[in-house]
Amino acid sequence: MEEDPIRERREREEQAKRNSSLKNMMWILAAIAIVLAVALAYIWFSKASLVKDLNQEKEELTQQMITLKSDYDSLSTDYDYINTQLDSSREEVNQLIERIKQTDATNRSKMRQYEKELGTLRSIMKSYIVQIDSLNTLNHQLTADAAAARREAAESRAANEELKGQVQDLSGQVAAGAVIKSRGLSVAAYNASDKVTDRSSRVIRLLTTLSLVENEIAPRGPVRVYLRVKDPDGILLTNTTQTSFNFNGQPMVASASREVDYQGQEVELSIYLNDIPSYSAGIYTVEAYTEQALLGKTDLLLR
């Protein structure tokens, strides 16, 4: 049987069209593959560059913390209560350095949090420097004043006795107005991620903040603020750093305390309560005192 030449030609033409379509498809797929390869390469290089920048930021933050640690180590004073606070802050710096080292540089939220803590610790160190300088200045001034007073007493004891009487009368008149007061007393609970929480099962520390208000006639110098924190059952929360103080002649136990240098101007301060084994749901009562006055009282509700 003879083959149909027209049919064969049509078949060849159709085969050529199919071959051409396949070639076009291959070129299209090749172009897509090239575009995808370029895009993946761009993403990879961008990510590598970002990771490099973040690692550099982490290294710089670590070096800043190490420098701050060195600054803390260089601070020294003859006052035991400041040395105790310095030891506590040094330990916080050491812990923060370890947390930075153990945290992946790509965890940007943690790194931002560590930067904030670094700023806080720097501010605290500055306050220590101010306290130390103020106390040293006050000590020198008191020493000079005492020497001058002794000389004046030797020259005129009678005049000195009269002056004492006047001072005592004046002290009685201004005693009430010289008492330091506060404002803005508040308390917040923090979890292990240093975030505010109201879940009792997640609380690891309490942070109380307040301000000692301006009082031109109040005595200048160190002022210790004491906190008494009671749980929903009215039981006082205490840890190994608990301290005691006298209020109106009555001894009292404090959950935590902090000393600041008060020079008659408004002073903001924060006091942490750490190392409490657990917290239960309910209302916690926080009272702030100095040895002269009850500064304020506030509540905290934990679920």
Regarding whether 127 and 144 lie in a shared domain, the answer is no
pLDDT at residue 145, rounded to an integer: 75
Q: Are residues 31 and 123 in the same domain?
A: yes
- Which residue positions in the chain have pLDDT lower than 70? 1-4, 37-54, 105, 156, 158-160, 162-176
Tokens of 292: 């002269």
Residue 16 belongs to a domain = no
87-108 per-position pLDDT tens digit: 778 888 888 788 877 777 677 7
| Residues 145, 110 share a domain | no
Q: Judge whether 4 lies within some domain.
A: no
Does residue 94 form part of some domain? yes
Domain final position from 132, 157, 191: 132
189/149 same-domain check: no
pLDDT at 3: 55
Domain count, the chain: 3
For residue 36, tell me if it sits in a domain: yes
Let me know if residue 140 belongs to a domain.
yes
Looking at residue 7, its pLDDT comes to: 74
Domain boundary residue among 174, 205, 237?
174
CA distance 32 to 138: 78
6 found inside a domain: no
The dihedral region occupied by 177, where left means phi > 0, alpha psi between -120 and 50, and beta the remainder, is alpha
Say what the pLDDT of residue 232 is: 95
| 142 in the same domain as 98 | no
Q: Are residues 291 and 249 in the same domain?
A: yes
Supply the range of the domain harboring residue 169: 134-174
This model's pTM is above 0.75: no
Please state, in angstroms and rounded to a whole number, the distance separating the CA atoms of residues 266 and 43.
53
Residues 188 and 220 occupy one common structural domain: yes
> What pLDDT is recorded for position 270?
94
Q: Over pLDDT 90: what percentage of the chain?
A: 35
Last residue of some domain: 174, 201, 234?
174
Structure tokens at 291: 């040895």
Query: Are 272 and 197 within one domain?
Result: yes
> Does 235 share its domain with 148?
no
pLDDT of residue 253: 95
Q: Do 144 and 190 fall into the same domain?
A: no
For 1-43, what is each residue's pLDDT tens digit? Answer: 455 677 777 777 777 777 777 777 777 777 777 777 666 665 5
**Residue for token digits 């190392």?**
275
- 267-273 and 205-212: which strand pairing? antiparallel
Same domain membership, residue 147 and residue 119: no
- Classify residue 154: in a domain, yes or no: yes
The reported pLDDT for the residue numbered 161 is 74
How would you class 112 by CB atoms within 10 Å of its CB: exposed for 0-12, middle for 13-18, buried for 19 or more?
exposed
